[in-house]
Amino acid sequence: MNNVLTAIQNEARRILQEGIVDVVVGFEAGTLQLKAQPFFMHKADDVDKLVWNGFCQNNLATYLTRLDKQQRIGIICRGCDSRAVRTLVMEHQYDREKLYLIGVPCTGIVDWRAVQRQTGEDILSAEEIGDEIVIATPQKKWKFSRAEMLHDSCKRCAHPNPVGVDITIGELLPEGDPQQAFTRTREFELKSAEDRYAYFQVEAERCIRCYACREACPMCYCSECFVDYTTPRWAESMITPSGTQAWHIIRAFHQAGRCVSCGACERACPMDIKMTYLTDKLNRDMLDLYGFDVGENDDKQPPFAAFSLDDRDRFVK
Amino acid sequence: METRLLKKSQLLSFIAGLMEQQAVFAPVKNGDFTQFQQINQADELDLESTHNTRYPPKALFQPQSEPLFEFRDGKFVSLLGEIQPRIIFGIRPCDVHALQLLDTVFNAEGAQDPYWLAKREKTTIITLGCEQPCSTCFCTSVGGSPFDRRGSDLLLTNMGDYFAFEVVTERGNALVQSMPVAADGQANDVKDMQTKAEASFPKAFDPTGIRDKLYQLFSSNYWKKMQESCLGCGVCTYLCPTCFCFDIVDEKQRNQRVRNWDTCMFRVYSQEASGHNPRPTKLERTRQRIMHKYAYWLDNINEIGCTGCGRCVRYCPVNLDIRWMIQTAQNWVEA
Amino acid sequence: MEHNQNLYEPIPMRIARVIQETNDGTLKSFELVFENPQDKDQFYSNYNVGQFCQLSIFGKGEAPFGIANAAWEGDFVRFTVQKMGSFTQAIHKMKAGDAIGMRGPLGNGFPVDEWHGKNLVIIGGGCAFSTLYALTKHVLHPPIRPQYNEMHVIYGARTSGMCIYKEDIASWYGRDDLKIYQAIDCPEDGWCYYTGFVPVVTKQIAPSPVNAVAVLCGPPAMVKYTLPVLTELGFAPDQIFTSLEKRMKCGVGKCGRCNIGPKYVCKHGPVFSLAELQELPEEL
């Protein structure tokens, strides 16, 4: 990791010093254990604070739709981040010419909640050492297998390698079969409709409509989200099953063929709500019905963003 | 007022006794979560968690969604019903002091919010002081303390094999008449424990002069830096025990006019019908939130509008830490 | 029903009269009457020109509107509404006889008692003129007129068709207790008054700041460019007053939304002096 970090820093410094970009988006150390913060480097000196590790839990592509479109931006991308960038570029949200992507193959993001569930709250230090995560709490020292403590989405991830980047730093990792990302979806599908709905109800019940999931997601960038409409009223803003379930379902549909399964939504949620099971199902349908794997190349448009005359139309009788 | 004592082994029967008189709301564990809920059995109570609930107990007074009126036969009919007396047990001093701050908004002279007031009047507050901080606590940096009595009816200190119940109000006093009064020595032990605990709370920043400093920085680059990583979601404001902003909306399908929590972090919050938005970008909105808590509250009631509960620190999806923001403001030198 | 007990409960009102103010239909005045006499008494005992009300239509929510009449004009409450968003569109569809809710009077109103003996320079633009119209009508009331000195009213609209209160304003030209100056943006056949934007026209007219207060209401751009003109003419910040607009929900200083710094426009305002505004953060 250290060599990779140094190489990333060198590249980030280079593109700033040579004026290739105005800002580089990466991470710096967090103020809490097991966390890192998104970090914006405007000068070469800022790069000294750059970190790169398993605690970098945000999808940085989400900042692309928030920054001045005239700026030239460098972003450090993993597999999912780079696919999100690619999809955003395809949706004309940013000019690819103005981006410099530093790709880094990804060994997964550590789920801080999974760690805390084992150790309790008071974590004094957390380190990634080889395949392990070493934690110290006031009472004892803990060692966990890193692989077991990864976020769910990372455990299923088939695409750790960055795509469409300007430079790749670090060893490429074996790509998985896209279908493997949907193993959990298949298990879920086998349940009865009642069981599936019951699960959905329990998850959605905790929702406080803070929209952290929406803001953390790179693909949610509508200047007016459907939940803010009063005419027509798509979903009530009250905390009710009706309003909250509508929110989750409609957002999932808006992600079909666009979501990169990064799991940033679940990591952002303050109420630990599971949501990727919804978007994974829609993405699996995209794969099965349209042979579409999100972000696989620069040309293939997401199925719901484009049409061709020979599209399947079995729903038209 | 006196301090009374209760053996830990007798806690559950004490709670059961309270439950016979009134509804009791306490922290209840549900998976990874602790949440304030009405308990049906005394043993549902969870005081083991070393940190606070995620969802703030202000929801017990200002529910996240509260139907205000029903629209019936062309008239607005108030839905403020009769509030049953209730007890909140195990709430922390930071959250209790937050309720007092909110009182200055909802119970202001000449403009009293009846929905808030009705609940406040019927609630007894039994506070549990904190003998140790968690990594995100910073009450002592904002004028609070882990054994702050303000706003409580009774304040509990965990003394190991017993709880000390400090009586703060008559209402609290009425609940503990059957408990033995602490002897002087014991009362001193409690005081010592509290002093030690308070000393162990780390200082996150020095708030002296923060109001003036933030006003000075109003147009500076400080805000450009602070707002960079903010996602503009509502986690910090919704989990915050002192945030009170709300939206009023008509839900036609329910025939109700409802009040919902709102947040200054959303763009539409201040969006005007003409298209003009006084806070058009994340920068103005981030500035509003911080200045409200650490400057405007001070202007209005001379108190910081933050009680250091740490929820925003813990759950911010990008680890944008308000303690770091205030510290940075205090040290900021405009280039 | 004790409406004063619940801050959020609208008073039942009925629309008595709808007046088409402009030919293009975008501006209408609505005169509302009280269903309950005790609400009426309560309202007038608290009313101060410059205040506003939240009008309430179930299903469309509420929105703030300046009160456009003086208390002596009758037992009604007048509002002039510009068709803009979903609420104003809904109210524009309403007719005489329709029921509507109202909460008010809210806000601080103009500090008219502090202005006794002074010259009043009233400058308004567009439909923001409504509360200034109320102020003018208040002062023109014979028992009240002697409390003030000269009154100059400068009112600008985009076109002559967009002027509101046309008939009443036309009658002001014949009065000797006020001077009315009307302006429209661009020249028009048959227009014999001023032409030009309000800031420019104000500069032309050059009202004196001596023993005077200026009261300014209009669209943000108009206010922004007229303020420096007044300053140049010699008006001190505590001699200039304006009424601000903000998105509002509760209207009583609780929902938090309409703040500028520590002040709530609905509660500490909407009327502020320039001196007060200068102490507030720049967030209009």
Give the residue from A263, A266, A258, A271 showing the smallest Cα distance to A220. Answer: A258
pLDDT digits (tens, 9 = 90+) for A57-66: 999 999 999 9
Q: What is the DSSP string of A267-278?
A: HH-TT----HHH
Task: Report CB contact under 8 Å: C7, B250.
Answer: no
Dist CA C246 CA C274 (whole Å): 17
Is B213 in the C-facing interface, judged by CB distances under 8 Å?
A: no
pLDDT digits (tens, 9 = 90+) for C109-164: 999 999 999 999 999 998 899 999 999 999 999 999 999 999 999 999 999 999 99
pLDDT digits (tens, 9 = 90+) for A225-260: 999 887 788 899 999 999 999 999 999 999 999 999
User: Which run of H or E residues covers position B200?
Assistant: helix B184-200
pLDDT band with cut points at 50, 70 and 90 for residue C2: very low
Contacts of C86 in chain A (CB under 8 A): 230-231
Q: Which residue of A has its CA nearest to C85?
A: A231
Do A164 and A296 reside in the same domain of the chain? Answer: yes
In the B/C pair of chains, how many CB contacts fall below 8 A?
106
Task: Report CB contact under 8 Å: B249, C61.
Answer: yes
Task: Identify from B30, B200, B228 which residue to disrupt to test chain A contact, counting A C-beta atoms within 10 A and taking the largest count.
Answer: B228
Do A145 and A170 reside in the same domain of the chain? Answer: no
Where does a domain end: A98, A133, A149? A149
Dist CA B48 CA B25 (whole Å): 16
CA B125 vs CA B58, B150, B171, B175, B238: distances in Å: 12, 11, 9, 11, 22
Do A223 and A253 reside in the same domain of the chain? Answer: yes
Dist CA B281 CA B265 (whole Å): 10
Is A224 in the C-facing interface, judged by CB distances under 8 Å?
A: no
- On the 0-12 / 13-18 / 19+ scale of CB atoms within 10 A, A130 is exposed
pLDDT band with cut points at 50, 70 and 90 for residue A199: very high
Residues 168-227 of B with CB under 8 A from A: none
User: Which run of H or E residues covers position B323?
Assistant: helix B322-331
Task: Report CB contact under 8 Å: A231, C86.
Answer: yes
Q: Which residue of B has its CA nearest to C267?
A: B111
Dist CA B311 CA A102 (whole Å): 34
Q: Chains contacting C with at least 3 CB pairs below 8 Å? A: A, B
Contacts of A230 in chain C (CB under 8 A): 61, 86
pLDDT digits (tens, 9 = 90+) for C162-221: 999 999 999 999 999 999 999 999 999 999 999 999 999 999 999 999 999 999 999 888
Contacts of residue C163, defined as CB under 8 A and 6 or more positions apart, other chains included, come to: C21, C22, C155, C157, C169, C182, C184
Please check whether the two domains, C3-106 and C112-243, share a CATH topology. no
SS (HEC) of A76-134:
EECHHHHHHHHHHHHCCCCCHHHEEEEECCCCCCECHHHHHHHHCCCCCEEEEECCEEE
Question: Nearest-CA distance from A312 to chain B in Å?
Answer: 37
* pLDDT > 90 fraction of chain C, expressed in percent and rounded: 89
Contacts of C222 in chain B (CB under 8 A): none
Domain C3-106 -> CATH class: mainly beta
Dist CA A291 CA C157 (whole Å): 61
**A118 found inside a domain:** yes
Is B274 in the C-facing interface, judged by CB distances under 8 Å?
A: yes
Domain of A287, in residue numbers: 2-111+150-305
Who among C9, C252, C283 is closest to B279 (CB)?
C283
Q: Lay out the sheet containing A125-129: strands in order across.
A: A125-129, A132-136, A141-145
Task: Report CB contact under 8 Å: C257, B273.
Answer: no
pLDDT digits (tens, 9 = 90+) for C50-83: 999 999 999 999 999 999 999 999 899 999 999 9
Q: Chains contacting A with at least 3 CB pairs below 8 Å? A: B, C
Q: Phi then psi for A132, rounded to 5 degrees? A: -120, 160
Is B77 in the C-facing interface, judged by CB distances under 8 Å?
A: no
Can you state the percent helix, strand and coil of chain A, rounding each to 5? 40, 15, 45
Who among B251, B268, B319 is closest to A238 (CB)?
B251
Residue C268 has what DSSP assignment? Answer: T
Is B281 in the C-facing interface, judged by CB distances under 8 Å?
A: no
Does the CA dihedral B98-B101-B105-B109 come out positive or negative? Answer: positive
Task: Report CB contact under 8 Å: C62, B264.
Answer: no
- Can you tell me which residue has the tokens 């709670």? B15
Residues forming a β-bridge with A99 = A73
Q: What 3-state class would DSSP assign to B126?
A: strand
Residues forming a β-bridge with C11 = C102
Give the residue from B259, B257, B250 showing the smallest Cα distance to B70. Answer: B257
Is B238 in the A-facing interface, judged by CB distances under 8 Å?
A: yes
Task: Report CB contact under 8 Å: C255, B245.
Answer: yes
**A240 found inside a domain:** yes
Do A183 and A143 reside in the same domain of the chain? Answer: no
CA angle B106, B111, B117 (to 5 degrees): 45
Dist CA C129 CA C152 (whole Å): 14
Cβ atoms of B318 and A58 within 8 Å: the answer is yes
pLDDT given for residue A141 in this prediction: 94
Dist CA B20 CA B37 (whole Å): 17
**Pair type for strands C212-217 and C119-125:** parallel
Residue type, B130: C
pLDDT given for residue A1 in this prediction: 52
Do A121 and A209 reside in the same domain of the chain? Answer: no
Q: What burial letters (b/e) apply to B260-282, b meaning 16+ CB within 10 Å?
A: bbbbbbbbebbbeeeebbbbeeb
Do A221 and A123 reside in the same domain of the chain? Answer: no
Contacts of C220 in chain B (CB under 8 A): 276
CA angle A125, B313, A248 (to 5 degrees): 110
Residue type, C52: F
Q: What burial letters (b/e) apply to A57-92, b meaning 16+ CB within 10 Å?
A: bbbbbbbbbeeeeeeebbbbbbbbbbbbbbbbbbee
Has residue C3 got a pLDDT over 60? no
**Pair type for strands C27-34 and C151-157:** unpaired
Is B266 in the C-facing interface, judged by CB distances under 8 Å?
A: no
**A314 found inside a domain:** no
Tally of structural domains, chain A: 2
Contacts of residue B243, defined as CB under 8 A and 6 or more positions apart, other chains included, come to: B237, B261, B263
Q: Which residue of A has its CA nearest to B281?
A: A66
Residues 114-153 of B with CB under 8 A from C: 114
Contacts of B80 in chain C (CB under 8 A): 6
Do A46 and A6 reside in the same domain of the chain? Answer: yes
Task: Report CB contact under 8 Å: B113, C283.
Answer: no
Cβ atoms of A40 and A119 within 8 Å: the answer is no
Q: Which residue of A has its CA nearest to B30?
A: A206
**Pair type for strands C119-125 and C151-157:** parallel
Residues forming a β-bridge with B112 = B107
Contacts of A215 in chain B (CB under 8 A): 231-233, 317
Dist CA A278 CA A199 (whole Å): 11
335 residues of chain B, pLDDT tens digit each: 789 999 999 999 999 999 999 999 999 998 888 999 999 999 999 888 777 899 999 999 999 999 999 999 888 999 998 999 999 999 999 999 999 999 999 998 888 999 999 999 999 999 999 988 888 999 999 999 999 999 999 999 999 999 999 999 999 999 999 999 999 899 999 999 999 999 999 899 999 999 999 999 999 999 999 999 999 999 999 999 999 999 999 999 899 999 999 999 999 898 888 788 999 999 999 999 999 999 999 999 999 999 999 999 999 999 999 999 999 999 999 87
CA A297 vs CA A263, B117, B204, B238, C181: distances in Å: 21, 59, 48, 39, 67
Q: Which residue of B has its CA nearest to A116?
A: B32
Give the residue from B227, B244, B332 showing the smallest Cα distance to B296. Answer: B244
> Which stretches of chain A sit within 8 Å of chain B by CB?
30-33, 35-40, 58, 62, 66, 113, 117, 120-123, 206, 208-212, 214-216, 223-224, 228, 230, 233, 236-240, 264, 267-268, 270-272
> Which stretches of chain C sit within 8 Å of chain B by CB?
5-10, 12, 56, 58-63, 84-85, 87-88, 99, 101, 220, 245-247, 249-250, 252-257, 259-262, 267, 281-284
pLDDT given for residue C282 in this prediction: 85
Where does a domain end: A149, A177, A208? A149
Q: Residue B224 corresponds to which tokens in the numbers above?
A: 């450009």
pLDDT band with cut points at 50, 70 and 90 for residue A185: confident
Does the CA dihedral B311-B316-B319-B324 come out positive or negative? Answer: negative
In the A/C pair of chains, how many CB contacts fall below 8 A?
3
Question: Nearest-CA distance from A264 to chain B in Å?
Answer: 9
Contacts of residue C214, defined as CB under 8 A and 6 or more positions apart, other chains included, come to: C121, C122, C123, C207, C230, C235, C239, C240, C241
Do A180 and A88 reside in the same domain of the chain? Answer: yes
Instruction: Enumerate the H helices of C128-211 as residue ranges.
Output: 129-140, 166-172, 198-205
Cβ atoms of B79 and B60 within 8 Å: the answer is no
pLDDT given for residue A183 in this prediction: 84
Do A134 and A175 reside in the same domain of the chain? Answer: no
Who among B112, B219, B257 is closest to C58 (CB)?
B257
pLDDT given for residue C1 in this prediction: 34
Q: Lay out the sheet containing B33-38: strands in order across.
A: B3-7, B162-167, B154-158, B123-128, B86-91, B23-30, B33-38
Who among B50, B55, B318 is closest to A38 (CB)?
B318
Dist CA C5 CA C38 (whole Å): 13
Task: Report CB contact under 8 Å: A215, B50.
Answer: no
pLDDT given for residue B39 in this prediction: 95
Is B29 in the A-facing interface, judged by CB distances under 8 Å?
A: no
Do A202 and A241 reside in the same domain of the chain? Answer: yes
pLDDT given for residue A317 in this prediction: 66
Q: Phi then psi for B311, rounded to 5 degrees? A: -65, -45
CA angle A90, A96, A97 (to 5 degrees): 150
Who among B32, B233, B253 is closest to A117 (CB)?
B32
**Any idea which architecture C112-243 has in CATH?**
3-Layer(aba) Sandwich (3.40)
CA B264 vs CA A57, B104, B261, B270, B303: distances in Å: 25, 19, 10, 8, 20
What is the number of H-type helices and E-type strands within chain B? Answer: 12, 13
**A310 found inside a domain:** no
- On the 0-12 / 13-18 / 19+ scale of CB atoms within 10 A, A184 is middle
Can you state the percent helix, strand and coil of chain C, rounding each to 5? 30, 30, 40
Is A230 in the C-facing interface, judged by CB distances under 8 Å?
A: yes
Task: Report CB contact under 8 Å: B272, C220.
Answer: no
pLDDT digits (tens, 9 = 90+) for A273-285: 999 999 999 999 8
